[in-house]
A = this chain, B = another copy of it.
Amino acid sequence: MAANAVAVAPERSVADLNALMPYASVSRYFGNQVIYDRERPLAAIYRVMRGRVRVSRWPVDGRQVLVDVYRAGDLFGEGALIGAPSGSEQAVAVEETHLMSWSPAGIDAAILREPSLGIALLRALLERGADFERRLESQALDNVQRRLARALLRFGERLGDGGRDGAQDGKLVMPPLTHVLLSRYVGTTREIITHYMSQFRRQGLVRYSRAGIAIDRAAMNTWLRAQENGAFPAKRIPE
């Protein structure tokens, strides 16, 4: 019951938001075009209408962390609402992308006019917070291999073809994310990602094709559960 409620809630929030966000003009970005970064400060909250957006952070020592990849229906740049400096964050269009955007003052005014927008935004951003919490838990407890397994399942479900409407033949097909990008999400090196991806391939858990990366969702979940139960003690290699 409880697990069910969680699976359903985001979809409801998305529908609510669709109906409640006021209309705003649409900006178009081409692939690899920067939306905000150190030089172009974050001043608006964005909604992806079409395409995909990659948000990364660049801490002082120059290494990069992939925060997430956002697709149609997702909000990003919500830091604008609390005046967060975009200094260390960068958003880039992955492909041709259409975005609606709202200034913080515009959002406040819209909530004052239509308070249920406040409720819907609150829910949508809480879903994101819960997702960050699960990632923190995984970063703290899982080894690199399990973090990679969870990242593949997550991107398969979020970005994949079979995602929202159920997988085809139990497979999640996601667009080909590079090993560099996966390493920036998982928090390790490209080499270690390549090592574990080969291992997952040999175990039949993932398959590469021209369309992307096919993940055997059921088998991957079984593998994760077996790991958690200690059936296959996690092998720790230097991260």
Contact = CB atoms under 8 A, between A and B. Distances in A.
A116 interface: yes
A112 to B, nearest CB: 5
B123 A125 contact: no
B6 A228 contact: no
A201 interface: no
Contacts of A235: none
Interface residues of A, number: 57
A135 B59 CA distance: 12
A60 B118 CA distance: 35
Interface stretch (A26-34, A94-102, A126-134, A161-169): A126-134
Contact of A230 (B41, B61, B123): B61
A140 interface: yes
Given A135-B136, A187-B139, A130 B65 contact: no
A74 interface: no
Contact of A116 (B78, B112, B184): B112
A115 B9 CA distance: 22
A137 interface: yes
13 contacts: A2-B41, A5-B83, A13-B82, A59-B141, A60-B229, A61-B141, A65-B136, A67-B133, A111-B115, A112-B116, A118-B122, A122-B125, A136-B139
A141 B82 contact: no
A235 B238 CA distance: 12
Q: Which of A111, A129, A132, A236: most chain B CB closer than 10 A? A: A129
A141 B65 contact: yes
Contacts of A118: 111, 115, 117-119, 121-122
A67 to B, nearest CB: 7
Nearest to A87: B2
